[in-house]
Structure 1
Amino acid sequence: MRFPKLAFVFMFVGCLVVYLTYVKRHYDDSKPQLPDQLPLHRMDIHKQSTSAQVVSESFQYGIMFDAGSTGTRIHIFKFQIEPNEAPKLAHETFRAIKPGLSAYADDPEKSKEGLLELLNVAKDTVPETLWSSSPLMLRATAGLRLLPGEKATILLDKVREVFSESLFLYRPDSVSIMDGTDEGMSAWITINFLLGVLHGTESPKVGMLDLGGGSTQITFALQDEKTIQSLPLDYVTSFQMFNISHALYSYSYLGLGLMSARLAVLGGIEGQPSGPQELVSPCLAPDYSGQWEHAEVLYTVKGQKAGEPIYETCLTKVEKMIYKRVRKIEGVKDVDFYAFSYYYDRAVDLGLIDESTGGSVKVSDYIEGAKKVCNNMAAGGIKESPFLCLDLTYISVLLQELDFPPDKELKLARQINDVETSWALGATFHCIESIHKHGTC
């Protein structure tokens, strides 16, 4: 039987297609498979040999320099990252050196040695494979705020020069002077992060009170939209974290930190060393005479002659100094607050809390403590703490001016879950979040 020529052609073509399909499939099966998409960002490398160090992909490091007035401190935070979960702080490495960065205002080149010393700590802590993905930051506080603008700028430029050669993840805007509001916000983030409530939408957030030497901050979450709309813009700060928006009441009162307030109550003038340097005050014991240094000015301080009751007279002085300088805000009595710095220190001085473990106090404890200390001082006691009467009276008035009632309880802590309650943790965490979302912090 003879096949038509056309049928023969179809059979030949069919056999050829089957053969080519077989060859292609065999080739595809034998070559290595490639992923559909290469990862855009990795925080580590895989093991390349049985002896190579393995670094978990679930860790992220952040390096924060805290350039304060008395010293520079480095915080190296190691965060554990899990899919669909809030990051956890796995470890913190801390080191501090003196003096502060501002001490090199007239010779910025000398600051380089200390910066390199602390950078070596970071290099010893962070695996080398993660240097390029570990943000490096510096935030300066009171020390640089008080410097003339040009000197502060030159110092920060020196920091940028050193950081740019470090091999860590660095951007010029990662080095800056921190304003008081940012300091309060960062401390608020730290506290709520350590308490494990920052990432929850329903979890109640705690507020933060910080009393430093030159300024004092109050920060807490705002829930009521009507309250938010009624506040001046500079009292409200908003940001997003864990895809949750936070609206905070956050304000820093410059000049109402404990040391600045003490100077004002005594009758001195901040930033004017040529002003009166002998200060007489009813907040000191009648027979007291001594010296006190503030902002590199040495003052002679004396108590007034006996006659008027110390507490009542001192209270009048403090109330006059603070009059209309603090804004009351409704709702603080309904928020749980943590208080730090001099709130903590003066509670220790009164014996209200343990120095190492902290505790809780009521606003009334400061009020009654001030009365007790001032009355004892009038009777000739507590000469080793000449300013305690003034300090406690000021703290009690400040809290009431902020609208905290006498029965309001405050939690005092230097650590939460064995981690220091520093603003550095919150600032680092917020910066890492911003870099991942916006490419800058």
Structure 2
Amino acid sequence: MRIPKFALAFLFAVCVVVYLTYVKHHYDDKKPALLKQPLYTPALHSHTRPTSAEVVSEEFQYGIMFDAGSTGTRIHVFKFLLQRNESPKLAHETFKAIKPGLSAYADDPDGCAEGILTLLDVAKDGVPALQWKSTPLVLKATAGLRLLPGEKANHLLNKVKEIFKASPFLFVEEGVSIMDGTDEGVSAWITINFLIGGLHTADTPTVGMLDLGGGSTQITFSPKDEITIQTSPDDITSFQMFNLTYTLYSHSYLGLGLMSARLAVLGGTEGQPLQEGQELVSPCLAPDYTGQWKQTEVTYTIRGQKAGEPIYESCLNKVEKMLYKKVKKAENLKDMQFYAFSYYYDKGVDLGIIDAKVGGSIRVSDYIEGAKQVCNNMDSSSEGNPFICLDLTYISVLLQELGFPVDKVFKLARTIDGVETSWALGATFHFLETLRTQSLTPEQFGGQADIGQ
């Protein structure tokens, strides 16, 4: 019996399809789990009922970000919900903070291990065990390590890499590093605009971001005019997010975070102890106040000047001299909405203008008037918050030097929908997208060639 040519052709085509299906399935099983499921490409849903493990791997992506700041280390465990043809949504965040910061172990790198391991236990509780090998583990250090000598900072980072590599999570060599100040500002901008819905469509307006940390301060916004772009080329950066391109002005000022600024106004130098018996004397402290203050592991004896001169005017003069020609004014900021974080928030709480839990709004003039009132009513009994005059005066001058008018209103928020308004979320988005677009091989994932198998 002769087989018709059509039947032979059909049989051959079926064999080819079966072979190609087998090859593709075999190849996919060898790829890292992270790359099999890109962050921004939701998995297809099946009509059959999936197992619980399949639901986790198909619908959610996890990311772990360690924020190694100047005063403490914080872990963020993010759980992202992936949906077809939509940008990812943050389904949950697990957060924990410990003190001191990594920089406190500059002379004893092994000493940081206990704290890092404690935070890794938080990550294990926050990520399903089946997802550990496909969940990237990232640590970004900020101003605290940027201010350390290079060799000491590298010893600390190498210790963290050693701990991360031994963990069950996805270790990427480039995932442990000192964060550039501009990247910190851009990542915080991504976070706030993602949380308020400003990144989902091209016509949605975005907001600017101000962050005042301990060692550095950042300003980031999307310029609405070509003048800013043309006159500040070194501060302009562009990137893609959710298939849209964003152009931002972002500048980070290392050494102008609140803790570093305190020391500079008091007359000290970062990381340099005083001579025996020497004190830092400042008109920004209460008259006849004497105390000790620790900054970057150096303890300083500080003292206020004797009563006589107006405290606010004297402190204002010191702050203005310290900031002279250190800050660039940005143009056309008056009509742009800004969110302000970190110490801007804390000092708003100290003034009683915003609620400690829910935040609120504040004007530049509120910081100015608050500084005048606090400074001119201090005495040696103000030991609970001896720096409040200096801090408020510094913030009021800094904002004006950045280009904000005295009637400018800022929104202060510590969290939005329960998520901390830090750079961590934006940096996690960026890191996951980088892994996806670079199509890294298993061998490039910190040597963990068995990931996803």
Structure with bigger RCO (C-alpha 8 Å, 6+ apart): 2
Larger radius of gyration: 1
- What code does the residue aligned with 2:72 have? G
Going from structure 1 to structure 2, the CA distance change for 1:93 and 1:45 (only over 3 Å counts) comes to: farther
2:138 aligns to what? 137
Counterpart of 1:279 in structure 2 is: 280
Q: 1:362 to 1:172 in 2, by over 3 A?
A: same
Q: Which moved more, 1:293-302 or 1:254-263?
A: 293-302
| C-alpha contact (below 8 Å) 1:277/1:298 kept by paired residues | no
Deviation larger for 388-397 or 273-282: 273-282
For 1:12, the equivalent position in structure 2 comes to none
Contact 1:212/1:341 (<8 A) preserved: yes
Name the stretch that deviates more: 110-119 or 323-332.
110-119
- Tell me the residue number matched to 1:320: 321
Deviation at 1:25, TM superposition (A): 5.7
- 1:307 is aligned to 308
Deviation at 1:99, TM superposition (A): 4.2
2-structure distance, mates of 1:262, 1:190 = 28
Matched-pair contact (CA < 8 Å) for 2:219–2:251: yes
Q: What TM-score do you get using the length of structure 2 for normalisation?
A: 0.84
Q: State how far apart, in whole Å, the 1-side matches of 2:335 and 2:180 are.
A: 27
Residue 376 to residue 224, structure 1, CA distance change in 2 (3 Å): same
Change (3 A) 1:80 1:409: same
2:271 alignment partner AA: G
Q: What CA deviation, in whole Å up to 9, does each residue of 1:50-102 have, x standing for no partner?
A: 87644241211111122234433321111111122111100112233444333
Aligned 8 A contact 2:53 2:130 in 1? no
In 1, the alpha carbon distance for the partners of 2:99 and 2:267 equals: 31
Q: 1:407 to 1:34 in 2, by over 3 A?
A: farther
Q: 1:151 to 1:255 in 2, by over 3 A?
A: closer
The 8 Å contact of residues 319 and 397 in structure 2, kept in 1 or not, is answered as: yes
- More off after superposition, 144-153 vs 107-116: 107-116
Instruction: Give the aligned CA root-mean-square deviation in angstroms.
Output: 3.1
- Stretch deviating more after TM superposition (44-53 or 398-407): 44-53
- 8 Å Cα contact 2:272-2:298 kept in structure 1: no
Which stretch has the larger CA shift, 235-244 or 336-345?
235-244
Structure 1 residue runs without a partner (length 5+): 1-14
Q: Say if 1:148 and 1:323 are closer, same or farther in 2 by CA, change over 3 A.
A: closer
* Distance in 2, Cα, partners of 1:118 & 1:265: 35
Distance apart, 1:403 and its partner CA: 1.0
SS of residue matched to 2:389:
helix
Structure 1 residue 423 and structure 2 residue 429: aligned?
no
Identity over aligned pairs, percent? 64
Q: Which sections of structure 2, spanning at least 5 residues, go unmatched?
A: 38-42, 446-453
Letter in 2 for 1:427: A
Q: Are 1:396 and 2:396 counterparts?
A: yes
Hey, what does 1:432 align to over in structure 2? 432
On the 8 A contact 1:97/1:114 being kept in 2, the answer is yes
Q: Is the 8 A contact 1:67 1:140 kept in 2?
A: yes
In the alignment, is the contact (CA less than 8 A) between 1:46 and 1:55 conserved in 2?
no
1:11-410 maps to which residues of 2 (within 5 A)?
A: 16-18=2-4, 21=6, 38=25, 41-43=35-37, 53-56=53-56, 57-233=58-234, 235-274=235-274, 277-377=278-378, 382=382, 384-410=384-410
1:262 CA displacement: 1.8
Distance in 2, matches of 1:50 and 1:438, equals 30
Aligned residues: 424
**8 Å contact kept, 2:187–2:427:** yes
CA distance in 2, matches of 1:362, 1:410: 6
Q: Tell me the TM-score normalised to structure 1 length.
A: 0.86
Cα drift, residue 175 of structure 1: 0.9
Q: Secondary structure at the match of 2:361?
A: strand
Q: Which moved more, 1:151-160 or 1:390-399?
A: 151-160
Cα deviation digits, residues 355-379 of structure 1 (max 9, x gap): 111100111111111111122227x
Q: CA deviation at 1:152?
A: 2.0
Offset, 1:111? 3.9
Give per-residue Cα distances to partners, 1:332-373, cap 9 Å, x unaligned.
Answer: 212111111111111111111111111001111111111111
Q: Label 1:124 to 1:344 Cα distance change in 2 as closer, same or farther (>3 A).
A: closer
